[in-house]
Chains A and B, each alone.
Chain A
Amino acid sequence: MLGRLTLNFFTSGAKSTATEDRRRLILLNAILGAGFLALSAASASAYFSRRNIPLAITDAVFAAFAVALLVFLRTHLRIRMVGVISCVLIFVLFNYLIVTGGDHNTGPLWAYLFPLFSFFLVGGKTAIWLNGAMFLAAAIPLLVPTFALAKYELAFAGRFLGSFAVLSSITYAFEYSRVDAQNKMNAAQKETNDIFNSLREGLFLVLKEGERYVVGTRFSPVTTGFLEELNLAGRDFIDILAHVKPDIDRHTTLQYLELYFSADLDETMLTELNPLKLVEGRLGLAFEFHRVHKQDFKTGATLGVESLMCAITDKTDELRLQRELAAQEHKQSQQMRLLLEILHANPALLGEFVASAMEYENEIAQALQNETGDRVALVNEIYRKVHSIKGDARALGLEYIGEIAHGIEDKLAALRKLPTIEGKDMYAVTIAFGGLHSHLGELKELLARIKSHAAISETTTQTPLTDQIYAVARQLNKSTEKNVAIDTTHFDEAAIPIELARRAREILTQLIRNSFAHGIEAANERAAQGKSAKGKITIATKVAAGVATLSYADDGRGLDADAIKRKAIAAGVLAESDAALLPQPKIFALIFRPGFSTTERADGDSGRGMGMDIVHNHVRAVGGRIRLATKIHNGVSFSFDFPLEKTTT
C-alpha cells in the first residue's frame, strides 16, 4: 500500500482505475501536490516577509492537510472521498481568505477557482451544492461588514458575487455537457461491445504487415473457440489457419488475401473464388472476407484497402446434415434396388425365403448372444447359416441381400484364419449381422407393402419344392451362363415328409449350386469329352421300408480324389503321411468336413467349402445317411436316406 507513494506523481497508479476516476485522481494529485507547495511557500512568505503570523499558521495548517490528503489518496485511492474533503478544505481556506481579506485584500480572488475545483474534483449535484454554499459563505462577509475583518466596498461585493455566479454557471454548463457527451460515448461503446460480444460468428480484422497477414487486436469471443487458439492478437493468420487445417494450401491462401488488397478487383468476384469457403478441420468453418477501406475523414472518400474483416461461421451442423442426407439418399437407393429385385422374384418364394432367413437369423442372433464356449464351432455354425441365406438370396435374384451375406462370410472367413478367436473378434460379426438383420426386416416390410398394394395372395401352403428347384436352376443358368437341365421325372414331392421339406430344399439348393460351380463343365470342355453341350441334373425320390430316399446326380466332371487329397493336406485336414494309405471312400468323405473346398475363389455361387458341410449337417440332424458315388468325368451322385419315423426339424 505504501509502495503507491512512490508511483509516478501525476498518475499515481491510475492505470488500474476507470476513465472518469483516473481523470479526477490525476487532478487531485496535481492540486494537492501543487497546493502543498503553494501553501508552504505562502506560509513562509507570510511569516518571513510580512510577519503575518495568523496567515502563516493557517497556510501551514492547510499545507499539512494537503500533504496528509495526498498521502491518503495515494495509499487508499479513495478518490471521491479525498475530492470532497479537498473541496471542503478549499472552501474553508477560501472563506478564511475572504473573511481576513488575505494579502492586500486579494483574498476573494481565490474564490474564483472554487467552481473549477468543485466541478472537476467532485462534479454532479454535490458540486452545485458546494458552489451555492460558497456563494452564500462569501456573500455574508462581503455584504455584512461585522462578519469580515477586511473592509469591502458594496460595489466590489456585488461585482464579485455576480462574476462568481456567472463563472460557476459556465463551469457547470461546461462540465455538464462534457459528462453528458462522455456518458453517451460510454453507452455507445457499451452497445458496440455488447453486439460484438454476443456475435455467433467469429469476427476480427486481418491486417497486412509487410508480406504477412496478422489478426487484429479485437475478435469476437467465439473466434478463439473456432480457431482453437487463445492468443490471436497479432498472430500470423495463415499459421492459425494451418493450425485448424494442417494441409491448407498456404500459397493460394496468401495469394487470395493479397487480391483483396488490389482495390481494382471486384469484391463479389473474389467472394466467388474464396478457397476458404469451407475449411474442414475439427469443425466445418466458413471464412468470409470483406474489404475495410481507408477513408479520408475530411472528404469521406475511400482511399484503398486498409485491412480485411474476416467473419467465420460454423457450418459443422450443416455439413453433418448434408452427410446425413447423402446417407439417407444412399439408403433409399438401396431400398429401391431391393424393391426392384423383389419385383423380379417369385413372390411366393420370396415369402418363404424371408421366413427361413429370419429363422436362421434369429438362431444366429441367439447363438451370438449366448456365445461362451467353442467359438470355432460357433463361427462354423454361423457360417453355414449365412451361407444358406446367401445361396437362397442369390437363387431368388436378391443380389443385394446376397452381397451383404457375402460380406459377413468374408468376416467369418477371416476369423477362421485366426489361431484363436477372442470374444472381441465376434463384435465385428455381430455388427455386420445387425446390417443383415435390418435389411431382412426391410425386405419383409417391403414385401408386406407390396402384398397389400398389389394383391399378391399370401400363400399359406408352401411353394412346391419342384418349383423352388427350377427357380434355383434358372437363376444359376443365368448367372453362370451354363446350360443345365433338371430332370425331376422321378421326383415326387409327396415322398418327402413336410417337416423335412426345408432341409431337402437346402440340401438340393446346395448340391445344385455345387454342380454349377464345380461339377458341370463349360460347354467347350464338355464337347471335348464327347458330352452333350447341355448339362444334366437328375433328382429323384423313393420310399421303401420306412426310409425316404432323395437322390441327386449330375453328369459333370465327378470328384477328383487326388485333388481332394491335395486340398485336404493344404487345409491341414489330412496328414501327408496318411494320404497315400487313405481308401477312396474316406477321401470323398473329406468334402463333408467344415471349411473344405477345392475352389480357392469365393464368389456368389460357390463358396469357401461350406456347401457340403451344410448338407452333412442337415442329414445328420435327422439321423439320415449319405451315400456318394462318383467317377472321374462321369459325374457325381448322392443318395440321402431319411428314416421316416425319426424326423425332427
Chain B
Amino acid sequence: MKLLIVDDSAIIRKAIESFAKDFPVEIVGQATNGKEAVDLFTKLKPDIVTLDITMPEMDGLEALKQMLKINAAARIMIVSAISNNQVVIEALAAGAKHFLTKPFNETTLKAGLQKIMA
C-alpha cells in the first residue's frame, strides 16, 4: 500500500514516517501544503493519505475534496487539533475515513493507521 504524508510541520511528517515503518506501507511522498499534496496525489496515486488541516497555499479540507474527486477510493486520515472539530466534521462528511487528534503519540497514530488500512 502506498502512503502519502501531508503536513506543513517537518517534525510531524518525521513522526508519521517513523511510526508507519511498522506497517506494510511504502511512503511514496511527502507534501507540505495542500497544492503540493494534490499534485503528488495525482502523480503517485497513493492508497492512503495522512492529511493536516491547517496548511499554507491550500488547506487540508480543499485538498481532501480535490483528492477524492481524483480517486474516490483513497483512504484519507485527517490529522488535526481537536479545537478544529467543526472543520474535522466537515472533512469526515466530505469523505475522510478517520481523524487523528493532534498531538498524537505512537499508540494513537498506529491505531489510526491500522484503522485506515483496514
The answer to whether the Cβ of B92 comes within 8 Å of any Cβ in the partner chain is yes
Selecting from A8-16, A263-271, A354-362, A487-495, the interface stretch reads: A263-271
CB pair B98–A269 under 8 Å, yes or no, is: yes
Identify which of residues 98-118 in chain B touch chain A, using a CB-to-CB cut-off of 8 Å.
98-99, 101, 115
CB pair B90–A255 under 8 Å, yes or no, is: yes
Identify which of residues 268-320 in chain A touch chain B, using a CB-to-CB cut-off of 8 Å.
269, 272-275
Chain A residues closer than 8 Å to B92, beta-carbon distance:
255, 259, 262, 265, 273
Q: Chain A contact residues (Cβ within 8 angstroms of B): what range?
A: 10 to 19
Report the bound CA distance from A249 to B86 in whole Å: 9
Chain B residues closer than 8 Å to A562, beta-carbon distance:
none
The residue among A255, A258, A259, A269 with the most chain B CB atoms within 10 A of its own CB is: A269
Report the bound CA distance from A266 to B88 in whole Å: 14
The answer to whether the Cβ of A65 comes within 8 Å of any Cβ in the partner chain is no
CB pair B115–A275 under 8 Å, yes or no, is: no
Report the bound CA distance from A399 to B97 in whole Å: 56
The answer to whether the Cβ of B11 comes within 8 Å of any Cβ in the partner chain is no
Chain B residues closer than 8 Å to A249, beta-carbon distance:
86
- Min Cβ gap A43→B in Å is 76
The answer to whether the Cβ of A252 comes within 8 Å of any Cβ in the partner chain is yes
Q: Which residue of A lies closest to B118 (CB)?
A: A264
Q: Contacts A265-B98, A266-B115 given: A255-B85 contact, CB under 8 Å?
A: no
CB pair B98–A266 under 8 Å, yes or no, is: yes
The answer to whether the Cβ of B82 comes within 8 Å of any Cβ in the partner chain is yes
Identify which of residues 75-102 in chain B touch chain A, using a CB-to-CB cut-off of 8 Å.
82, 85-86, 88-90, 92-93, 97-99, 101
Q: Which residue of B lies closest to A269 (CB)?
A: B99
CB pair B93–A272 under 8 Å, yes or no, is: no
- Min Cβ gap B71→A in Å is 17
Chain A residues closer than 8 Å to B101, beta-carbon distance:
272
CB pair A252–B82 under 8 Å, yes or no, is: no
The answer to whether the Cβ of A256 comes within 8 Å of any Cβ in the partner chain is yes
CB pair B88–A273 under 8 Å, yes or no, is: yes
CB pair B86–A252 under 8 Å, yes or no, is: yes
- Min Cβ gap B49→A in Å is 16
- B82, B89, B97, B99: which contacts A255 (Cβ < 8 A)? B89
CB pair B85–A259 under 8 Å, yes or no, is: no
Chain B residues closer than 8 Å to A256, beta-carbon distance:
89
Report the bound CA distance from A499 to B85 in whole Å: 69
CB pair A273–B93 under 8 Å, yes or no, is: no
Q: Contacts A266-B98, A272-B101, A273-B82 given: A258-B88 contact, CB under 8 Å?
A: no
Report the bound CA distance from A269 to B101 in whole Å: 9
Q: Which residue of A lies closest to B86 (CB)?
A: A252
Chain B residues closer than 8 Å to A258, beta-carbon distance:
93
Interface residues of B (CB under 8 A from A): 82, 85-86, 88-90, 92-93, 97-99, 101, 115
Interface residues of A (CB under 8 A from B): 249, 252, 255-256, 258-259, 262, 264-266, 269, 272-275
Pull 13 A–B residue pairs with CB atoms less than 8 Å apart, ordered by A: A249-B86, A255-B93, A256-B89, A259-B89, A265-B97, A269-B98, A269-B99, A272-B101, A273-B85, A273-B88, A273-B89, A273-B92, A275-B89
The 9 closest A-B CB pairs, nearest first, are: A255-B93, A273-B85, A252-B86, A256-B89, A255-B89, A259-B92, A269-B99, A252-B89, A273-B88
